[in-house]
Amino acid sequence: MGQREDLLAGARICLAEKGYSRTTARDIAAVSGAHLASIGYHFGSKDNLMAVAVLQASDEWGDTIEAAVRAAGKASPAERLRVCMAELFAAIPRQRDLLVASMQAYTEAQFSAEVRGPLLESVERGRRELAAMVLGVDGGEVDDATVRGLGALVHALIVGYVQQALLSPESMPTADQVAGAVAVLANRR
């Protein structure tokens, strides 16, 4: 790994251990083994480095979710959603540090255009992909209304359950309970 990658890895460790706002440039340099001045050389500032680290964590988590939904194969949309939730719930304990960093991106986006713009693009792209994966179609086949409806719903379930798991893992439902709850809502139209 080069110094740039070491700094990113160090920033991600600091995100998970100290949080976004409590991490200093010295913390990152110490954890990464890099020289303090190298932050400015490679990223321009500590804030830019942290923004890249947060977005990287968010993208990696998105890849985890995509793999989970794709694992459902050719099942029905309801079964794909259930498999997605099962894979998500299984991944949460293994990915806690990544999730903490990823969740911080949403908060930091309120204060940083460097985080907000790319995160918003990632979320919009993710909603389309989530809708496509649950429906078992290519992303280009999903219309905007489905992205705003189904894609946003699946995204909200994922983000909401991640937040719940970070706060109170013992209160998490099972994937079958989530699928059952969605079915109840669908049948009450």
Q: What does pLDDT average to over the chain?
A: 88
| Residue 189: per-residue pLDDT | 66
Convert the pLDDT of each residue in 167-179 to its tens digit. Answer: 999 999 999 999 9
* Model pLDDT for residues 85-123, shown as the tens digit of each residue: 998 898 899 888 778 877 877 888 888 887 788 888 888
Q: Are 136 and 150 in contact (CB under 8 A)?
A: no
Higher pLDDT, 83 or 151: 151
Instruction: List CB contacts of 24: < 8 A, sequence separation 6 or more.
Output: 46
Predicted TM-score (pTM) of the model is 0.81
The structure tokens listed for 162 are 């991640």
Burial of 110 from C-beta contacts in 10 A (0-12 / 13-18 / 19+): exposed
What does CATH list as the number for 54-187?
Answer: 1.10.357
What whole-number distance in Å separates Cα of residue 10 and Cα of residue 91? Answer: 22
Domain boundaries, the chain: 54-187
In this prediction, residue 17 carries a pLDDT of 87
